Structure 1
């Protein structure tokens, strides 16, 4: 028995087993060798893995999958401990798994911690509230306030309201108590897939309702907020010295108050790739810190006693830190400014302890601090754009070849200037390439000539506008600031001229329809792989980057976009994007156009030959996927004869309605009425492939999707739509479906 068992082939050691073992050993050794070569880069992946856990919570739909992900990550961590055997690979796997699990748990805890009730339905409400924040918007003639309603008034703990400038009571400031009446609604989710999701932002900001106030707004008791009052006075002073668009830009550069910037100027800055100049971020904080350090250092150096006895750079760094914190407080402590302040403090700390200031480890430390404090900021464009830009700049200039190309060589002034301009241009191009996927993902548009525009705009802003504005503000105390305000005015006029010229140039911006989340994720992963590694294996990042870019570019624009309330329908036609309601608001028109990847002004569906519309209904024929689709949509709340409505539904492929339709309304393919859209949210449809993308995912448990609600007293409910639906008038026959302006002479069908 023993002899036969020993001779069994299954227990004999064959050459293939040895070969496999040797290959596995060589692979393990190669992995260890690579990690040893990249040991200085490994800490950079800690915030990336933390962000990976946060992303998993945002992407996975429900608590069951969140728990499963935590268990899986725990198993991976234990596996890394078990197989590590003192090598870097096992330790790296353990740290990656633990960090990702912390990120997932952190944002889950944060989402539960900020939980607050949301307004149940649109309503008119009257109440007293304490003012928490005031944000003037002069360009729109509004003042936006954040309020905390007082007493048991059936409103969420925090609401936001817009007040017309003419209705703003004197003395309105944080801490004041006001009495108002207005129209309020729950924070809206994304209107269509890929659009801005305000509901998520509002949830983490504990904002339960948003709306507008009616006149009059009464001040019950005044409030005081030194920071806010100083910011408002400073902004008003700047705009008093520099009029018009330049004054609005100057106020934004100094205080972060962008409310006075006109829509045309703001759009030009965005299309020209210069919008980053309007946000108080790294450029502004760096200028303030640098100027403070330079002034303090030069003034203290005038005293030989101080220069010989004290470490003046350390004192200057401390003064710069105080200036950074004070400037952040003055400008409202917005998230981008806080991130920039944290980064500046880390740089100053590195200077103080004698370490290299600008490194990727500094960026990683800043990202880690922000993600721990505000994990939800990872999903916002501000976090992604700012850290992507800084990472791209530092990674580029840390590359040995780039460093050797642009290092000082003792050349003449002309060669040195040319090298610096070339360095600036290369940096701008790399930053534009790094930011383009993020801009296209969030805004569906990216500036093409931004690198060229920034070659002029950044030096102009950093070395002319901001120093002149700072000197003007200081000298205004003695009434001597006028010459510097003249410099600020003309420099900003040049900046706005540059923005408008670049924005109006042919092909100034690239538009792209909403890209798949997976494509964006591949591009982000590929970019991080290229930026954070140093050996030749970094080139592998080009593979997911190229796949994601090709996927995004190959994704066709949807044929139909339907908003979550069913009120608006956009159809992509050969002539352009056509809207069901020609009187749709500017925001709705912009949202539908951006998510369709078009830059032209949308058309009215009723004006097209392939559509027949009345005041109440529209029928449109759309060619896609080798066939013609019949689309029917309601345009009003008028009631339609039941039998005729059912007949029209039967003859349509797709029916869209903001109202609830009877069960007997059965189109040939898809029905999107009020009940269906309440479950799906906004919908994007590609008819050729039959692909349907919805805002809401089935079973999603993110708290802002189905939040706890609070309803105001029933007698205050003023929802006109609910009242009209409850009081059903007798059925009326709808007018003929046909636009009087149409050149189509086909027989008009009546319902």
Structure 2
């Protein structure tokens, strides 16, 4: 009997299992048929994200071929089922997303400058932006007769050096040290180089005086710039910058301490023109048009007032979007508002997740590079969480209007507002931790007061003041606007001062973040009980993020700045480093304290040229050696110190005879890897650049290599 043939073969059993699984999947998708279309922008966005994550053209091409092969396999599935259509369409969309951003990068992007140069530039001014908070004017210039320079450079000019006649269309001449747009200084940092590439900026720099105007601008300043300056003149104090940002979207006049307080308190979304501002404006215009037209009996009886008011609101939303610079959140909000107005005009319920998906799809088609930015991610995550919560049956039943006392109605509205705030904070937390390494914990409570204050007090007062300025009567309302903004800033600073205002986390990997976003979308977009399968990836990702061990050593891409974490806190090699460097290194390490001087640590011995440090990590003793100057050091002394050190870090190219026990980090290595973060206990080394990275914003194509490792010996045995 042992050798008798089986009555049911393995092939037949596998086929039966696949048939059962397919039938179960079809039944589930039938139950979720209203939600399937929401995954169209997700599939397209996955292709865009894959292009950014994969390093070079062969990998991008392999991804596209693999997705087309998967679509062909899907075409061989039995016809008539949703699984077949989803496999074919999903794989095709993912391939299309990769090709879309790849094509845009090839056609529109601007190659960065190969290396830093001193140049005398003559060019035409394309745009002028005043940044009062930094006391500079930011100018975009198109160089003339300069084949060695990019077609567009961004220059900062000190306010004291700004010449008369500077404006759009002017021809200027100046000297500047031009540099390629900065990549992330350390792993997890802000990648300005990628953003500048898609904006067409190939170099940045600071103009040296004198800045000469060869031909003055004969064009009037843009309406946005005139409005920006007008508001700053009318609103005194710190609130002027916020008032200007609410009207124009330009945050250049907001002091850094106020901006940081708004970020820590969870109120930074009020500074970026998004759904709150666009919705408030469109709603106000519709309300005023409806009330004004209804004053006429003939118009009220014969004209479609709702259609007319909706058309006026749509025009106001489009104008506001253009005025504020058409940033991604504003565009998303404007597209969503237009869809809502169209749905209302047709008598449909337009406030659905399909509305959000349509807005995301429109943004991805025209601006696919926006996907990897925090603005796109946070904007759509917040709106998706709000709409998904509002569509939930239990929440809708709780928030529905009913016949009850004013007190109970007020409590219910307060609970609904708090619930929506908590939902938004939870949805934004993974994104904030990934991009900014910090997330607000009290933002839901701060928004209970800040959102009504901004929507129903600040913005109406500002709009009324701007309207009355036409006849010169806006001063009292500007004063009231300033006092309301002072209250808003008081709330922000008060919440930000709490030790529970934010949670910090070190930089995490792209894969971990991608898993959390996939789980979050799974929870928000499906409706059946299977949606809860997305919770474990989110929870695991958050736990790993919050419990991750911060790096022991951070080295910037130029090698000049090094931060070391010890039991006493974090210390910086060069204590004269600016606030930007300090904030960037602290945030990347998930550290909220002051950076001390490395020379002040108990185990440090420093001179003008070298700094040696003894520290313990992972139960081992480590010796670190850093260079602090460009002066030549005696070979015999330096070779001995290199041999005794486990790690040597320098901003110059070190000679071959400098051989530390484990790792040598110098200019040659950093040119291949970019900034580094090192965990001594595990030996993990994270780099800014991937091996073979061929994205077009990389300034120079250089041969990649692994960090130069040497035989590790026991640090405890060193003298």
Q: How far apart are residue 157 of structure 1 and its match? A: 0.5
Deviations 1:304-349 (A, max 9, x none): 2222222211111111111111112222223332222222222222
Q: How far apart are residue 440 of structure 1 and its match? A: 0.8
Q: 1:204 aligns with which of 166, 183, 198?
A: 198
- Conserved in 2, the CA contact under 8 Å of 1:117 and 1:707? no
Distance, in Å, in 1 between the alignment partners of 2:279 and 2:700 is: 40
Q: 1:342 aligns with which of 335, 351, 367?
A: 335
Q: How far apart are residue 667 of structure 1 and its match? A: 0.4
Runs of 5+ consecutive residues of structure 1 not aligned to the other structure: 1-6, 710-751
Equivalence map 1:364-513=2 (5 Å): 364-513=357-506
Give the corresponding residue for 1:674: 667
Give the corresponding residue for 1:52: 46
Q: How far apart are residue 74 of structure 1 and its match? A: 0.8
Distance, in Å, in 1 between the alignment partners of 2:219 and 2:391 is: 45
- Conserved in 2, the CA contact under 8 Å of 1:522 and 1:547? no
Distance, in Å, in 1 between the alignment partners of 2:547 and 2:56 is: 30
Q: Helix, strand or coil for the counterpart of 2:138?
A: strand
Equivalence map 1:728-739=2 (5 Å): none
Q: Helix, strand or coil for the counterpart of 1:118?
A: coil
Q: 1:124 aligns with which of 100, 112, 118?
A: 118
Q: How far apart are residue 289 of structure 1 and its match? A: 1.1
Q: Helix, strand or coil for the counterpart of 1:315?
A: helix
Deviates more, 1:350-359 or 1:638-647: 350-359
Q: 1:294 aligns with which of 279, 282, 287?
A: 287
Give the corresponding residue for 1:151: 145
Count the aligned residue pairs: 702
- Conserved in 1, the CA contact under 8 Å of 2:504 and 2:546? no
Q: How far apart are residue 150 of structure 1 and its match? A: 1.1
Distance, in Å, in 2 between the alignment partners of 1:113 and 1:38 is: 39
- Conserved in 2, the CA contact under 8 Å of 1:173 and 1:229? no
Q: Helix, strand or coil for the counterpart of 1:558?
A: coil
Give the corresponding residue for 2:705: none
Q: Structure 1 pair 39/553, CA: closer, same or farther in 2 (3 Å)?
A: same
Q: RMSD value over aligned CA atoms? A: 1.8
Q: How far apart are residue 405 of structure 1 and its match? A: 1.1
Distance, in Å, in 2 between the alignment partners of 1:546 and 1:337 is: 31
Equivalence map 1:67-86=2 (5 Å): 67-86=61-80
User: What's the TM-score once normalised by structure 1's chain length?
Assistant: 0.91
Q: Helix, strand or coil for the counterpart of 1:244?
A: coil
Equivalence map 1:501-580=2 (5 Å): 501-580=494-573
Deviations 1:602-656 (A, max 9, x none): 1100111111111111000121121111010101000011122111110000000
Alignment of 1:27 with 2:18, yes or no, is no
- Conserved in 2, the CA contact under 8 Å of 1:116 and 1:708? no
- Conserved in 2, the CA contact under 8 Å of 1:50 and 1:103? yes
User: What's the TM-score once normalised by structure 2's chain length?
Assistant: 0.95
- Conserved in 2, the CA contact under 8 Å of 1:328 and 1:337? yes
Q: How far apart are residue 354 of structure 1 and its match? A: 2.2
Give the corresponding residue for 2:34: 40
Alignment of 1:236 with 2:229, yes or no, is yes
Distance, in Å, in 2 between the alignment partners of 1:254 and 1:21 is: 63
Deviates more, 1:559-568 or 1:14-23: 14-23
Alignment of 1:362 with 2:358, yes or no, is no
Q: How far apart are residue 165 of structure 1 and its match? A: 0.8
Distance, in Å, in 1 between the alignment partners of 2:317 and 2:647 is: 57
Give the corresponding residue for 2:133: 139
Q: 1:309 aligns with which of 292, 299, 302?
A: 302
Q: How far apart are residue 421 of structure 1 and its match? A: 0.7
Distance, in Å, in 1 between the alignment partners of 2:274 and 2:13 is: 57
- Conserved in 2, the CA contact under 8 Å of 1:106 and 1:375? yes
Give the corresponding residue for 2:240: 247
Distance, in Å, in 2 between the alignment partners of 1:359 and 1:708 is: 46
- Conserved in 2, the CA contact under 8 Å of 1:249 and 1:278? yes
Alignment of 1:662 with 2:655, yes or no, is yes
Give the corresponding residue for 1:190: 184
Q: Helix, strand or coil for the counterpart of 2:76?
A: helix
Give the corresponding residue for 1:323: 316
Deviations 1:487-515 (A, max 9, x none): 21111111011111001112211111101
Alignment of 1:89 with 2:86, yes or no, is no
Give the corresponding residue for 2:710: none
Q: 1:275 aligns with which of 268, 278, 281?
A: 268
